[in-house]
Amino acid sequence: MRNLDDFREEIRAHVELEADRLREQGLSLEQARAAARRSFGNVAAVEERYYESRRWVWLDLLAQNLRFGLRMLRRNPGSSLVAVLTLALGIGANTAIFSLLNGLMLRHLPVRHPEELVLFGKGEWGGSANVLPNRNWQLFSYPGYRDFQRKNKVFSDVAAIDSILFTTHGRVASAENLEKVSVELVSGTFFQTLGVNAAIGRTLTDADDVHPGAHPIAVANYAWWKRRLGKAPSVLGTPVTIGKTTYSIVGVTPPQFFGAIVGQSPDLWIPLSMEKEVSPGWNGLDQDLFQSLYLFARREPGVSIRQASANVNVIFQQMVRAYAGTEASPKVLESISHAHVELTPAATGLARFRRQLAAPLVILMSMVALVLIIACANVANLLLARSASRQREIAVRMSIGAGRPRLIQQLLIESGLLGLAGAALSAPVAWVLLRLLLSMKSAPPALRVEPDWRVLVFALAITLLTVLLFGTVPAFRATRLDLPGSLRAGRSVTGGPDRNRLARGLIVGQVALSLAVLTGAGLLLHNLINLRNVDTGFDKRNVLLTGVDPAGAGYHEDVRLENMMESVEERVDALPGIYGAAFALSVFDGGGWTDSIVVPGQPPLQQDVTHNIVGTHYLEAMSMPLILGRYLTARDDHDSQKVAVINETLARTYFPGMSPVGRTFSIGMQPDWQGLQVVGVVRDAKYMGLQEKQQPAAFYPHAQHWSIVGNFAVRLSGDPKLAIPAIRKAIADVDPNLPVADFTTLEEVVNRSLASPRLVAELSSAFGALAALLASIGIYGVMSYAIVRRTNEFGVRMALGARRGDVQWMVLRETLRLVLVGVGAGLMLALILNRLMTSILFGLGPADPLAIGAAAALMIAVAILAGWIPARRATRIDPTVALRYE
């Protein structure tokens, strides 16, 4: 690019050449020079035009505007700071919640062509389904997986992954003690289907998944390799002993790969062929109906989901009909004809809890979006007021020739600076909020929330959007003025009715949006209170819980396991201050086994029953009151009649109008679970969470069903913490190798189960408070400004005899009118938005009068307070001063 000097030189040459020509025509040197200069015209103007034609001129102007903008912001440090903080809170909250949503729902797996992956079903079930498929199916058996793999014509590969993450205990290398190891059982095709290569060594192949029990190898997760082995380069061949099998590590996954299930990151991946070795109580590789696997596949290029789905469903129907056998009754055939598989895109990975976690996030996201809009309205109001007070400056600049675009650019740059400062400050806000959200109990431990391009684009986009939202209108308004009027008047013309209407409109909007947020928060708080007061059906006080891992210690489901469990229960029971000790398959909020039951002579009901396998004194330890019959006793052993204690709901549902005691039922087809005789009925309780609907439930003694269980519960008197060492010792006396986890109290478990609703309620209350605060700042600002403008009028009124109360009421009435209009609009908005919440509400409708009433009352109170302060100031006006005011 040429510089300006070079250009000046050219102009000078031009003028000299012209002068030379004129001299040839006979003019004197002086005359020729003057004429040449005259004929050229305004040199400075030409130079300016040249300057403006240069490409980087806008950058110069931008730099000028930036410097000027910074100066203007510094001149009003107070209001600038309020604006920046407001924006930082708004943008930060939005970014934090969006990061979570992104990690949970949008982010693609770091694998080859993730868009080609499909999941069989929605992946929302977990555990094992042991019945013939009869609807939209989600879990599949190992033989089913092999069938799909062999027969399909649409996939380049099919892979299986156990729907359960096995948290077991093992010995790593030559370590002394057992330690916790989480294992995902996967088919040999798992890594190939995903397209994930090992960072070190190799991944699994189909050849590692052929003969049950014959492939003791494992692939280590990069995170585990780093955490547990300190990235030792000699990782290959490291032995890990789980139960009685020693697995050899053959490879490490790349660092960015967390696994295929969002939020779940195992330490080791082990071939499914080792299922029985890893989990003695949970296996059935050869059973058609042990359906516990998620299946996913990679589509061949060019195969649409619809084509793939058609092919898969043909195979699935053949498969299910073969399972039903040739002698299936017409009713069974009818039922299995409804079995089908819905293929869903799996680019974002599998996420069993995606829907459950997404609901509160979507609610919070909507709330923070509203808060951001309120914040924008506030900043817009601030800028309006500021540009009103700068009207003279702007008028002067325009009258001496500043172009309107240049001024608008200038004002927008000031807004942009506010926005940028807000965005910069929003990063720490977002970080803190994100940590807080991730501490949610229900937050998956391994969610990838570190910012990716989506989060960055999102943050930039909302910053830009906010700048446009709060900056544009004030900028256009400020530069559209009646020049002579603005120059003449000191301040009386500033603003004007137009500005006023806009400011009032902003207030109505702010109140409406704040009310919507407050109502949502009120609803969630009310919901939390309801959950806290839920009758659990058991006595949560004075109970200790811990986890045990018999499988990790090498137990199988046989008499040795049963003997160990009975000895542990006896020994702990015998300790002083202990009123009941029992193993249990599941305890409160720890998941559970659900399955349907069959009562002889009755048509099967489409309702799952929650089953639990427990120690003899479990029901007493939990204080679930007996209503009918008897509790389990030590006489219910392996050789006696198989028994069950059921709850009221099961009694009512399956044995209506009769005494259930003495009646029998069965579960599935396994011989162990036929002819179970009801011996007692206990009160209903909550089993898997406080929000669950009342479930039918039944309890069975482990003495009759030797099975691996993972929980141990103890009721005691006195300080539970003091009893822990004695209990540990009693267990170790029976088997020093049995891994025992940390102890917690049942009360803690119940409270922790509310952590997520509590956090959502607290956060939404914080957002609601923020919204109300911002709205009241807006009201305060607009009303103060209106009163300053009307000082003269108030002076006249008071001089003519108006009392202070009259003036105060006049001002307040105006505020009240705006607020009531806002509240009205807000109520309608709230009723619409609250529908989002119905899925997470417990026994509350979206139109909860308590929440709505409280929110409206709070909003009105806050608004009146914000309007009252300036109103009071209006009454302090001294008429003589006011009349002289302008």
Partner 1 sequence: MSTQRPERLELLQGTLDLLILRTLIFGREHGQGISRAILQTSDNELLVEHGALYPALQRLEARGWIAAEWGTSTNNRKARFYTLTKAGRKQLVQETTQWRRIATAIGRVLGPESEES
Nearer to partner 1, 40 or 58 (CB): 40
7 binds partner 1 (CB under 8 A): yes
Candidates 38-46, 534-542, 642-650, 823-831 — which segment interacts with partner 1 by CB under 8 A? Answer: 38-46
Candidates 12-20, 358-366, 695-703, 742-750 — which segment interacts with partner 1 by CB under 8 A? Answer: 12-20
CB of 399 to partner 1, least distance (A): 24
Q: By three-state DSSP, how is residue 22 classified? A: helix
Residue that has been written with the tokens 């720890």 in this structure:
590
37 binds partner 1 (CB under 8 A): no
Q: Using an 8 Å Cβ cutoff, are 747 and 541 in contact?
A: yes
Determine the straight-line distance between the first and last CA of the chain, rounded to whole angstroms: 55
16 binds partner 1 (CB under 8 A): yes
Residue 297 tokens read as 């596949």
Task: Please give the C-alpha separations between residue 681 and each of 281, 442, 597, 699, in angstroms, as whole numbers.
Answer: 28, 33, 16, 10
Candidates 49-57, 250-258, 792-800, 849-857 — which segment interacts with partner 1 by CB under 8 A? Answer: 49-57
53 binds partner 1 (CB under 8 A): yes
Residue that has been written with the tokens 């989002």 in this structure:
836
3-class DSSP string for 657-682: CCCCCCCEEECCCCHHHCCEEEEEEE
Nearer to partner 1, 2 or 71 (CB): 2
Interface residue with partner 1, options 3, 5, 30, 42 (CB under 8 A): 42
CB of 4 to partner 1, least distance (A): 12
Interface residue with partner 1, options 27, 33, 34, 46 (CB under 8 A): 46
Strand partners, 207: none
26 binds partner 1 (CB under 8 A): no
Residue 540: DSSP 8-state: -
CB atoms within 10 A of CB 645: 28
Nearer to partner 1, 12 or 75 (CB): 12
DSSP string, 671-732: GGGSSEEEEEEE-----S-TTSPPPPEEEEEGGGS-----EEEEEESS-HHHHHHHHHHHHH
CB of 18 to partner 1, least distance (A): 6
Nearer to partner 1, 11 or 420 (CB): 11
Nearest-CA neighbor of 490 among 401, 399, 407, 391?
A: 391
Interface residue with partner 1, options 18, 184, 569, 684 (CB under 8 A): 18
Nearer to partner 1, 20 or 733 (CB): 20
Interface residue with partner 1, options 29, 31, 40, 857 (CB under 8 A): 40
CB of 31 to partner 1, least distance (A): 16
Residue 401 tokens read as 């020739």
38 binds partner 1 (CB under 8 A): yes
- Contact set for partner 1, span 68-87 (CB under 8 A): none
Nearer to partner 1, 46 or 402 (CB): 46
Nearer to partner 1, 15 or 236 (CB): 15
Letter for the amino acid at 701? P
25 binds partner 1 (CB under 8 A): no
Nearer to partner 1, 55 or 306 (CB): 55
Residue that has been written with the tokens 């302060």 in this structure:
869
50 binds partner 1 (CB under 8 A): yes
Interface residue with partner 1, options 5, 25, 45, 453 (CB under 8 A): 45
Nearer to partner 1, 24 or 30 (CB): 24
347 binds partner 1 (CB under 8 A): no
21 binds partner 1 (CB under 8 A): yes
Candidates 4-12, 191-199, 414-422, 530-538 — which segment interacts with partner 1 by CB under 8 A? Answer: 4-12
Interface residue with partner 1, options 31, 39, 640, 839 (CB under 8 A): 39
CB of 794 to partner 1, least distance (A): 56
Sign of the four-CA dihedral 672, 675, 676, 679: negative
535 binds partner 1 (CB under 8 A): no
CB of 23 to partner 1, least distance (A): 10
Burial 221-252 (b: 16+ CB within 10 A, else e): bbbbbeebbeeeeebbebebbbbebebebbbb
**Which residues, 6 or more positions from 262, have their beta carbon under 8 angstroms from its beta carbon?**
103, 104, 348, 349, 350, 351, 354, 444, 447
35 binds partner 1 (CB under 8 A): no
Candidates 35-43, 262-270, 377-385, 616-624 — which segment interacts with partner 1 by CB under 8 A? Answer: 35-43
Q: By three-state DSSP, how is residue 870 classified? A: helix
DSSP string, 74-92: HHSHHHHHHHHHHHHHHHH
Binding-site size, partner 1 (CB under 8 A)? 22
Q: Using an 8 Å Cβ cutoff, are 62 and 22 in contact?
A: no
CB of 55 to partner 1, least distance (A): 8
Sign of the four-CA dihedral 660, 686, 610, 712: negative
In the complex, the residues that contact partner 1 under the rule CB under 8 A are: 2, 7, 9-11, 13-14, 16-18, 20-21, 38-42, 45-46, 49-50, 53
